Structure 1
Amino acid sequence: MKRATSCTGALALILLSPVGLAQTPADEPAATPELAPLLVTGTRTPTDTFFAPLIVDVIDRHDPTLATASRVEDILADQPGLHVAGQGRRNGQTLSLRGFGRNGVLVRLDGVRQDIDTGHIGNFFVDPALLREVQIAHGALSSLYGSNAMGGVISFETVDAEDLLRPGETSGARLSLRGASASDELGATLSLFGKHSLADGSSLDGLVAIGRSESGDIRRAGGQTTPEDASLNSLLAKGAWQLSDDHRLFTQWLHYREDASQPPNPQQLVVEDGDLRDRTTTSDNLQLGHRWSPGPLTQLDTRLTLSRQDIEEPAAERTLERLGVQSDGYHRRDHGWLSQTLAFGAEASRATQRPGGTASGFPDANIDNVAFYLDDTLTLGRYLGQGGAGEFDLGLGARHDSYRAEDAEGRESDKSHLSPRLRVAWRPTRKLMFYSGYAESFRAPTLSELYADERHFGGFCMGPFVCVPDNFWVPNPNLQPETSKSWESGLSWRFGDWELRASYFDTRAEDFIDTEVDLFAGTTRAVNVNRAQLWGYDARLGWSPSDASVMAFVGLAEVSGRDRDSGEPLGSLTPLEALTGLDYHLAHTNLVLGWRGRFARSFDERTSDEKPLPGYGLHDVQLAWQLTPMLSASLKLRNIADKEWYRPDGSLGDGRSLLANLSLQW
């Protein structure tokens, strides 16, 4: 059984990295590090995440947190500094990270951005049963990923045939059954996968996975229940042709469809007068691509992508279609005393949104985007133990984005933005690194913020003589993009059985896009208003003794922020939060038992009209068990005491729930 890396977003790769377990004498010449097999979010190149100049957390499918998850909240709710808003409904999930809300955190699904803007409805839709891993990169990353990557990038990667095939196998099938007590959910996923070698030396591989689940009312912390009646159908189809060692053609289709009866606002907890709405949420992501790998240190991925999100209600429909082409690559060269790693790419896309029926706040408009980026990291020097001053990295990068938006009335918005990034790292030894860097990021206004002009809400009376008229959106084609400038410094240190990563960041944000509502004038519009300062830190400490039967960790994060003009709290802030854990591996039984503690200090950095939130301490237990080579099980009991607690945005947290997954593979 592969070890269950149940560090839930803290040290999943750090503690188990083969690089971290290797012991190299100080006087041994430094060898070129072996590159990891995957591109890592935040670097665009294969690397040891422990020595990346930012905080990267990884959750893989062997972790009970991902293996048992039925919605994104189950995966990401434990992450220090990262929060999922909503009340547990799949299409009400939005993210905040490093002080930035839903539009300041870029979500990618198999490399394709997910950013539909539909008011209170979420902007990404994915079935966790189809995921291989989730990567969370903290920090300003517009220099690599463009708009929205101000607080970080969340990358969801789906499973491949190679992930499921055992050594020596050429085909297989896997049936996974899952359930969650808090939502009365039962589901199943059937996967068929295989690989076939052809006579000319090439090979084919593919996977088809079909999932179905049914769920009911959702039980939140403290026993409160929010209404929901939903069914989810999902499909993942992948195929690839490995023409040679250098060339690979691949294609895939990822389909998601949820039919639900829920409140008009899916982030709402209590529903008055039984006001429920039938809503169908459909998402499709298609890709056709080519990978060129002329050597172990060079790769270029080019893909044509088409995505479509459609949200249907009885009297309204909202559809976003995005057609794009993108090419991303990396190349490493050694020049004797100097090595160089290049990450580069370009992309072009058109996103078109179409309203139907009485859809409000979702204008008929489109936006074209063209971008290119280049990031160069130079490495030189020798470690102190080899007579040098240490090994140094100098990283320089920038991305240029230009976008042009236009609505059905011909109103245009044409802007461009350059996002530079500079970083310096010093490694006196192979096990210690200090780094510091500067980065600029931006977020383009959404089409709804630029062009919405429909009715926002109906008029009402506040008393016998005080009434307000109907309220209408007012377009603002001159809206400027949000921008930010960030400094971040940190260290990475392996010492004995311990590993430490920590960083501190300070961000100055300009032209925050806010919504200005004038009740008596009957208008709502998006405006650039605030200048913000956001600051905080992330830290990860892990302990893994040489016998590898016990593993412990703690992850800490805090985000503070204020309006630089008024001094008032501003941004999606978080109190001091900690995730702690302990895992014990019973080697002879292939059983990993784990405990998780989630803790937060009381939170009063909220606007003046909002009440402070109390602190909390929550406890979870989990296990991963490979019963036989064919049969495995994962269990997670969340919030054992069913304690009532609140997220920083004021939404009620998850309640006690038993999540389970049983998988049979043959």
Structure 2
Amino acid sequence: MKHTLSIATLAFLMLPPLSAQGTESSSAEAALDALTVTGTRVPTDLSRAPMIVDVIDRNDPTLSTASRVEDVLSQQPGLHVAGQGRRSGQTLSLRGFGRNGVLVRLDGVRQDISTGHIGNFFVDPALLREVQVARGALSSLYGSNAMGGVVSFDTVDAADLLRPGESRGARFSIGGATASDELGVTLSLFGRRDTSRGEVDGLVAIGRSESGDIRRAGGDEAPDDARLHSLLAKGGWEPVPTQRLFVSWQHYDEDATQPANPQQLGFDASNPLRDRSVTSDNLQLGHRWQPTAATDMTSRLTLSRQAIDEPAANRTLERLGAQSDGYHVFDHGWLSQTLAFGVEVEQARQVPDGMANGFPRADIDTQAFYLDNTLTVGHFVADGGSGEFDLGLGARYDRYDAEGRESRSSTEDRVSPRVRLAWRPTERLMLYSGYAEAFRAPGLSELYASERHFAGFCPSPFFCFPDNFWVPNPDLQPETSRTHESGFSWRAGDWGLRAAYFDTRADDFIDTAVDIIAGTTQATNVNRAQLWGFDARLEWQPSTLPSLRAFAGLAEVSGKDRDNDAPLGQLTPLEGTLGADLAITGHDVVLGWRARFAESFDKRDSDDALPGYGLHDLQLAWQITPSLDTSMRLRNVADKVWYRPDGSLGDGRSLFATLNLQW
């Protein structure tokens, strides 16, 4: 089904006439309020967080027009989405770590199904309120997989859509993308009401989209025929202002015809087209207690289920968990103290059916608790002191018990410490340095897979290789890392700058050893790696022209095997991003430009070099009336051919457009 003409027509109708009138746009002038930062678990200003954190909110056309995670994260330097644009092939790499070293969370629930070349998380961007990307070793707060960082997706609430003075509303969105011939709609109903027993609120959002083959850079196409249904239902009750009960259900259901390996561009006899159904459900029941602004405690029961259904094979990951997280700020006069703490218990179970390959029947139980303490003392130099000092000490204990077929079991525990010191001589300057350890527990497939990997073959009439079978390895050790990171944050007048340098030593990388002659495949601990690089962010908002905001980002990741100096890890060439937003006063229009640049780099596992690139995007956000708004984004304007560090072809030119009507 082709939608290109209808999307282009829709986009043309969305363009603002020069005579349009409206109120002054506030999106470019909004001040940054304190928010709960993924990397600290406490509310803080990003300029005070001792790390590099990027936030993408729903007012940014990058998110508001996106239909895939690739569309949301494409502007993040050093962060890459593997695959060829298909939703079921999306995996992330960050700071040298691939899919298993980057933790993905959806409304606080871990997303990490692992099966072949299929992606490990599934989310409809139309339902998102915000995305946070926290870089660095964060196992001291989040446990396994948080070696390169944490990417948190948070869905929209009723409060995000209700306008001032409103108690209920509805929102209808229609949009799509030309590169994938996609057209989709989302209907949201939301409201809140004061009752004699407290305030109640709720939201229901239903989405549907259809898409076809995905056009990549230069005109190549990735075959795909997909239909996505999504649902978000949320409700809350505040019997008193200090307490809130909430429940939510996020549902994702995609039916697609695509190559067996969705991360490859095309298909052939070894990678045929097949029908694939992917469903993901995340259910939560929780309670939040906030007696004062200095204290917060949120507890929740979570149930998640991810299922991948293909001809003669079905793979399901079920996860049941309970967690409680909180923080408390003590004021001792000369000393302030911020405690972040939490406890988690969880059971995850893999359930294969039919001829599911590399996905054994197994389960893993996890128990964890963490405590992070930040002490702040001193006075700024201008107040007669030697500066304000932060000392942060934190650690998390994780224990996991895994069990597979024939009672093969694996039990490990891990303590992940973190220490950091920050110095602020003035309110506008912060220098920091820290050390953190992180780990990644082996996956159930890596521990217990035992079925056939692939069929044998005969390279000549006189000799044949046998069928190849997975060999379990319940003695597999966790991957571990030790990271030193130093950086600074500086603000002066119209300028702001954040930068950090990191050096990571990682041990016991989990690799897959394939012995064709013996007919075996087994996960083993092999490599010792060193990963190093930097991240930097620059912002400029001139006081003489407050409607203008400009920014830049820079990142690079290098890595090597410490035993033989061979390149190792998900490396990233020197990458830069530039952008600017201009609010047109009196038209309620924000025009934006984004650019991405990268040096040439060596293709992974090859002597070939991939060329550098320079890409440009244009975007527009327009509040047409108080009830009608639109966002548009033209990605890769010149349709430049470019490649991701893993060698996959990058995204091509595409027009994204979304029209929203709220009443």
Question: How high is the TM-score relative to the length of structure 2?
Answer: 0.95
SS of 1:409's equivalent in the other structure is helix
Deviation of 1:461 after TM superposition, in Å, equals 2.4
Q: Which residue of 2 aligns with 1:579?
A: 577
Structure 1 residues 2 and 151: alpha-carbon distance in aligned structure 2, compared to 1, 3 A threshold: farther
Match of 2:561 among 560, 563, 576: 563
Given residue 573 of structure 2, which amino acid in structure 1 is its aligned partner?
P
Could you say which residue in structure 1 is the equivalent of 2:262? 266
Contact preservation (8 Å) 2:24, 2:586? no
Equivalent in the alignment of 1:253: 249
Quote the Cα distance in structure 2 between the aligned partners of 1:465 and 1:506.
52
In structure 2, which of residues 44, 48, 58 is the aligned counterpart of residue 47 of structure 1? 44
Match of 2:80 among 79, 83, 86: 83
Distance 1:357 1:2 in 2: 59
Q: Which amino acid aligns with 1:395?
A: G
1:232 matched to 2:228: yes
Distance across 1 between alignment mates of 2:577 and 2:456? 46
Of 254, 269, 290 in structure 1, the residue corresponding to residue 287 of structure 2 is 290
Instruction: Look up the equivalent residue of 2:593 and give its one-letter code.
Output: W
In structure 2, the partner of 1:26 is none
Distance, in Å, in 2 between the alignment partners of 1:101 and 1:156 is: 18
Equivalent position amino acid for 2:92 in 1? L
1:103 equivalent in alignment to 2:97: no
* Cα deviation, residue 462, structure 1: 2.7
Where 1:516 maps in the other structure, the secondary structure is strand
Q: Aligned residues, how many?
A: 639
Shift of 1:18: 4.6
User: Which residue, 594, 598, 601 being the options, matches 2:599?
Assistant: 601
1:220 alignment counterpart:
216
What per-residue deviation string (whole Å, max 9, x for no partner) do you get for residues 545-580 of structure 1? 123211111100000000000100000000000110
User: What is the distance in 2 between the residues matched to 1:544 and 1:327?
Assistant: 39
Which residue is equivalent to 1:68?
65
**For residues 349-406 of structure 1, what are the alpha-carbon distances to aligned partners after superposition, in whole Å with 9 as ceiling and x for unaligned?**
0000110000010000000000000000000000000000000000000000000000
Q: Distance in 2 between matches of 1:167 and 1:541?
A: 33
CA contact (8 A) 2:113 2:120 kept: yes
Q: Secondary structure at the match of 1:397?
A: strand
CA distance in 2, matches of 1:623, 1:664: 17
2:421 aligned with 1:424: yes
Matches of 2:207 and 2:366 in 1, distance apart?
A: 34
1:308-323 aligned at under 5 Å gives the runs 308-323=305-320
The answer to whether the Cα contact below 8 Å between 1:606 and 1:612 also exists between their aligned partners in 2 is no
Matched with 1:549 is: 547
Distance apart, 1:459 and its partner CA = 1.1
**Out of 486, 491, 495, which is 1:494 matched to?**
491
Q: How does 1:202-213 map to 2 (within 5 A)?
A: 202-213=198-209
Matched, 1:243 2:242: no
CA distance in 2, matches of 1:86, 1:185: 18
461-470 or 593-602, which deviates more: 461-470
Q: CA separation in 2, counterparts of 1:171 and 1:610? A: 60
Structure 2, unpaired ranges of 5+: 1-22
Q: Does 1:345 align with 2:376?
A: no
User: Within 5 A, what are the aligned runs for 1:404-415?
Assistant: 404-415=401-412
User: For the residues of structure 2 that align with 1:16 and 1:600, how far apart are their CA atoms?
Assistant: 31
> Aligned residue for 1:193?
190
CA contact (8 A) 2:420 2:433 kept: yes
- 605, 611, 630: which is aligned to 1:633? 630
Deviations 1:112-140 (A, max 9, x none): 00010111000000000000000000000
- Partners in 2 of 1:505 and 1:287 — Cα distance? 36
Distance apart, 1:275 and its partner CA: 2.2
Look up the match of 1:31.
Answer: none
Q: In 1, Cα distance between the equivalents of 2:93 and 2:524?
A: 21
Distance 1:50 1:66 in 2: 23
- Report the residue type matching 2:302 in the other structure: T
TM-aligned CA deviation for residue 16 of structure 1: 5.0
State the Cα distance separating 1:482 from its structure 2 match: 0.2
Gaps of 5+ in 1: 7-14, 20-35
CA contact (8 A) 1:479 1:527 kept: yes
In structure 2, distance between residues paired with 1:466 and 1:48: 66
Counterparts in 2 of 1:502 and 1:127: CA distance versus 1, 3 Å: same
Alpha-carbon displacement from aligned partner over 1:300-322 (angstroms, at most 9, x marks no partner): 00000000001001110000000
Paired position in structure 1 for 2:10: none
User: Which whole-Å CA distance do the structure 1 matches of 2:357 and 2:165 have between them?
Assistant: 55
- Paired residues for 1:521-560 under 5 Å: 521-546=518-543, 547-560=545-558
Q: Could you tell me whether the CA contact under 8 Å between 1:541 and 1:554 is conserved in 2? A: yes
Summarize the alignment of residues 83-482 of structure 1 with structure 2, pairs less than 5 Å apart: 83-200=80-197, 202-273=198-269, 275-482=272-479
Q: 1:650 maps to which residue?
A: 647
Contact 1:5 1:60 in 2 (8 A): no
**RMSD value, Cα:** 1.3
- Distance in 2 of aligned mates of 1:605 and 1:342: 44
* Alpha-carbon contact 2:140-2:417 (below 8 Å) kept: yes
Query: Offset at 1:473?
Result: 0.5
2:6 matched residue in structure 1: none
1:605 Cα offset (Å): 6.8
**1:29 equivalent in structure 2:** none
CA distance in 2, matches of 1:214, 1:663: 18
CA contact (8 A) 2:24 2:587 kept: no
**1:398-419, Cα deviation, whole Å (9 max, x unpaired):** 0000000001320000000000
- Among 582, 588, 591, the alignment partner of 2:589 is 591
Mark the CA change 1:102 to 1:2 in structure 2 (over 3 Å): closer, same or farther.
farther
CA distance in structure 2 between the aligned counterparts of 1:572 and 1:123, rounded to whole angstroms: 17
How far does residue 83 in structure 1 lie from its aligned partner after superposition? Answer: 0.3
Partners of 1:348 and 1:616 in 2: how far apart? Answer: 45
Following superposition, the deviation at residue 176 of structure 1 comes to 0.5
Deviation at 1:194, TM superposition (A): 0.2
1:248 deviates by 0.4
Give the Cα separation in 1 of the matches to 2:241 and 2:547: 38
For 2:509 and 2:459, the matched residues in 1 are separated by 31
- The answer to whether the Cα contact below 8 Å between 2:139 and 2:438 also exists between their aligned partners in 1 is yes
Q: CA deviation at 1:466?
A: 4.3
Normalising to structure 1: TM-score of the pair?
0.95
- The residue type equivalent to 1:267 in the other structure is Q
Q: CA deviation at 1:226?
A: 1.2
- The range that moved more, 263-272 or 366-375, is 263-272
Q: 1:340 to 1:87 in 2, by over 3 A?
A: same
> What does residue 511 of structure 2 align with?
514
Alpha-carbon distance in 2 for matches of 1:606, 1:640: 27
1:583 is displaced (CA, Å) by 1.3
Distance 1:77 1:451 in 2: 35
The corresponding residue for 1:24 is none
List per-residue Cα deviations over 1:40-74 (Å, max 9, x = no partner): 10000000012100000000000000000000000
Q: Indicate if the aligned counterparts of 1:573 and 1:605 stay in contact, CA closer than 8 A.
A: no
State the 1:269 CA deviation.
0.6
Find the aligned partners of 1:467 and 1:503 in 2 and give their Cα distance.
53
1:474 alignment partner AA = V
